[in-house]
Structure 1
Amino acid sequence: MRKWIIMLIAALFIQLLPAVAGAASGALTASIDQSDRKVVIEGRLAEPGAEVLVTVTDPNGRLDYFNQKTTDETGAFRFSYVSGSTTAGIYRVRAIGPSGAGGNDLQAEYTYTGSATNGNEPGTGAVSPSADVEIVLGADGTVVLKPRLTRDPVNGGLYATIGSEALKRAMELATPDSGGMRHLLIQAKSEEPAKAYRIALPAAALSMDSKSASITLDTPMAAVTVPSDMLAAEGASVAEFAIEEASRDGWNEATSAGVGNRPAVDIALKLDGKPVNWRSESSQVDVTIPYAPALAEQDAEERLIVRYVDDSGQSVPILNSRYKDGKVSFRTPHFSTYAVAFGGETFMDLPVAHWAHQAVGALAARGIVQGRTDGSFAPAASVTRAEFLTLLTRTLELRADDGGNISGELSFKDVSSSAYYAPALRAAAKAGVVKGDGSGNFRPSERISRQELSAMVYRALVSTGRLATAESQAASIVFKDESEIAAYARDSVKALADAGIMQGSNDAFRPAASASRAEAAQVMYKIWFANAE
């Protein structure tokens, strides 16, 4: 078995509970039936109707069980299960309540002597630790886990628990794709309606050192795909994801108008029962929200986007969001509230019949391009080098580094570090997109030519892995003015023309002509659209 699989299985089982300074007030007891390994855990918190998370670790510190429920009207709770471990010794039990509740961190232990018969033998009454999870191998190598859903009596939501044993089996069954990734799909679906779904699983499955696996949490409200390294530095035992209908209270007028009655979901994460503000630029998650476009939206689906709604009710568009096949999808580095919206201005000088109407509308919906103060777009106006660079880096979401740090001196003599385009220039220079004019200048205010635009776009696409280099490739498209293209831009023009990103007019490329705002938008739209496939 490959080394990383061994490491993954080990990580799923070898995990220690965090140290606790002292047991809080309250009561917790745990016992095991030595004949069939049935464990009963009972306790009480000071607060009734509070959520309590229970974890059990075996003598080697491996997670044997976890689950959660709400305490009754007296604050009492009870869990029972059949242990999947046959290791003899002391088992440690921990019950964690909400931070504000009295007796919110309780501990107990029980001893298993190792005298039970095989839990799978007839007559023992033992239940497989995966009995609540159906595991199905998909045709493409993806493994589907279908857990039993339990109704939360407090909020009416549905929750499911995926134990270590079920997750381990699913990982072993999954077939790696061409990139070596294994894919698991947890289907938390029910015929009963619900406004909230919670899925708990061992945090170790998401605490790997690399992206060797992905887990999709699929609910009727949204599907969230998380990578196996998203919690690499957290050190938790249990990860609980919540996907629920978002409250629209406190949204500002612009957010409410843009979203309308379209879906809005709130995605949150708890680690060991405590809410966390997870964020990671390097291990982002993919989200899809089901949506059926309205009749008026069906001819402009490229304007369907997702907006991130912050705690103040303001929102911003997610640039990479896009609609396809009944779902709006996006990638995000953090959990929060996200809503489907329909955007894009209608510019008075850009009618539906204009060849750039669709491109400009899609980019305007995402805030990538903007119109003039008089409501026009000025499609024939020229674009400066600084304006186009800003447009390019915004479309490709290029940053100076993973943390968005834009500090540092610029290497161009004619650029101020306080210029509005300075962050874009730093990111582009780091990626090798811009190189200046050979004399240490960038010439930000000059109109960008079509061949300069091609060179910038080509370098950006190559540096981000979106396009192969054009060296040694024969061009399938030949322009009658090819001899007029500068040597530095010939490979760029050839590659972009073959990719359908740039095109000429009447068999001519017009390399020295200034690029217009409409042409720049069309190029950015083709880049964005191609990246969506």
Structure 2
Amino acid sequence: MKRVIQIDSVIQDSSTATVVVFDPRTGKMQFVPAVFMVKDGKTEATITRNTNSMYAIVQNKKTFDDMAGHWAQKDVELLASKMIINGTSDHSYTPEMQVTRAQFVAMLVRGLGLSTETLPAVFTDVAATQWYASKVGTAAKYGLVQGVSEGLFNPDEHITREQMVVILMKAVALVQGTAKTDVKATTQFADQDQLSDYARSALSEAVGKGLVHGKTETTFAPQDIATRAEAAVMIKQVLQFLKLIN
């Protein structure tokens, strides 16, 4: 569903403006997908979300000392300003740190603005007491993840670049409301023989839509463990493609 909030002023920098859902019981705010547009001297924020809630608009600019001059600085700080991703401390993002499967799913669920809730356990290795339990459960509910085998998710295992792409393309299908179509599994990458069979069509589709890029012009490195910088950039690309952020 889409809703519009109108502000009687111009927001010049949409990268620091964010629609949030406000929980009056806890006082906490959470990112909500929204696109800002200036019209007739006013700003319209168009919200895309699947639940009813209390919304507000906030402005927030987040920077990290260890992102200065980094190739992913702009994308990381955009998502951090919108409260989609967090640093490892107030002043550090640690861009080259490897990402676990649970961490990546949590980033994506926040970016999609999906409402999380306590759900029956889907995976036996995701304890209800873990910080990521509701995020993983929500991702499973919406078909974003299926686990590595029956009943197992391996939340603390590091996620590979090809695994990220598969999950992201499921997110694209979820938001667009269309089933994933068969795509001829070819790419321009010289190392495509390293791709797992289950990831071939997802990578082809992602490359065709301009959502992912290789580590070099000719290699994708599908089995490499993803870094926090790579995860942020891929999520940002998908959110912009889906028109969930400017």
| TM-score normalized by the length of structure 1 | 0.41
Pick one of 471, 486, 510 that aligns with 2:196: 486
* Cα contact 1:307–1:315 (8 A) shared by 2: no
Query: How far apart are residue 520 of structure 1 and its match?
Result: 0.5
1:286-314 Cα shifts (integer Å, max 9, x gaps) = 323353245xx4xxx32222355676995
Distance 2:147 2:24 in 1: 42
1:285-434 matches, within 5 Å, as: 285-293=3-11, 297=13, 301-307=14-20, 316-326=29-39, 327-331=43-47, 338-339=56-57, 341-351=58-68, 353-373=69-89, 375-399=91-115, 405-410=117-122, 412-434=123-145
1:160-198 Cα shifts (integer Å, max 9, x gaps) = xxxxxxxxxxxxxxxxxxxxxxxxxxxxxxxxxxxxxxx
User: Which secondary structure does the structure 1 equivalent of 2:66 belong to?
Assistant: coil
User: Which secondary structure does the structure 1 equivalent of 2:65 belong to?
Assistant: coil
Query: How far apart are residue 425 of structure 1 and its match?
Result: 1.5
Pick one of 505, 520, 524 that aligns with 2:215: 505
Indicate how the Cα distance of structure 1 residues 290 and 481 shifts in structure 2: closer, same or farther if over 3 A, else same.
farther
The aligned counterpart of 2:172 is 461
Indicate how the Cα distance of structure 1 residues 304 and 444 shifts in structure 2: closer, same or farther if over 3 A, else same.
same
Amino acid at match of 1:423: S
1:39-438 matches, within 5 Å, as: 285-293=3-11, 297=13, 301-307=14-20, 316-326=29-39, 327-331=43-47, 338-339=56-57, 341-351=58-68, 353-373=69-89, 375-399=91-115, 405-410=117-122, 412-438=123-149
- Identity over the aligned pairs, expressed in percent? 26
Indicate how the Cα distance of structure 1 residues 362 and 484 shifts in structure 2: closer, same or farther if over 3 A, else same.
same
User: Which secondary structure does the structure 1 equivalent of 2:67 belong to?
Assistant: coil
User: Which secondary structure does the structure 1 equivalent of 2:166 belong to?
Assistant: helix
Q: Which has the higher contact order (CA 8 A, sep 6+)?
A: 2
* Cα contact 1:306–1:328 (8 A) shared by 2: no
Distance 1:437 1:459 in 2: 16
Amino acid at match of 1:442: F
Distance 1:335 1:460 in 2: 22
- Structure 1 or 2: more helix by fraction: 2
Gaps of 5+ in 1: 1-282
User: Which secondary structure does the structure 1 equivalent of 2:32 belong to?
Assistant: coil
Amino acid at match of 2:237: K
The aligned counterpart of 1:48 is none
Gaps of 5+ in 2: none
Amino acid at match of 1:446: E
Distance 2:149 2:52 in 1: 41
- Structure 1 or 2: more strand by fraction: 1
Query: How far apart are residue 354 of structure 1 and its match?
Result: 2.6
Query: How far apart are residue 514 of structure 1 and its match?
Result: 0.6
What number of residue pairs does the alignment pair up? Answer: 238
User: Which secondary structure does the structure 2 equivalent of 1:329 belong to?
Assistant: strand
* Cα contact 1:454–1:493 (8 A) shared by 2: yes
User: Which secondary structure does the structure 2 equivalent of 1:522 belong to?
Assistant: helix
| TM-score normalized by the length of structure 2 | 0.84
The aligned counterpart of 1:94 is none
User: Which secondary structure does the structure 1 equivalent of 2:96 belong to?
Assistant: coil
* Cα contact 2:183–2:201 (8 A) shared by 1: no
Distance 2:55 2:119 in 1: 30
* Cα contact 2:142–2:174 (8 A) shared by 1: yes
Query: How far apart are residue 468 of structure 1 and its match?
Result: 6.1
Amino acid at match of 1:286: V
Distance 2:103 2:24 in 1: 32
Query: How far apart are residue 427 of structure 1 and its match?
Result: 1.6
Query: How far apart are residue 342 of structure 1 and its match?
Result: 2.3
Indicate how the Cα distance of structure 1 residues 462 and 309 shifts in structure 2: closer, same or farther if over 3 A, else same.
closer
Amino acid at match of 2:171: A
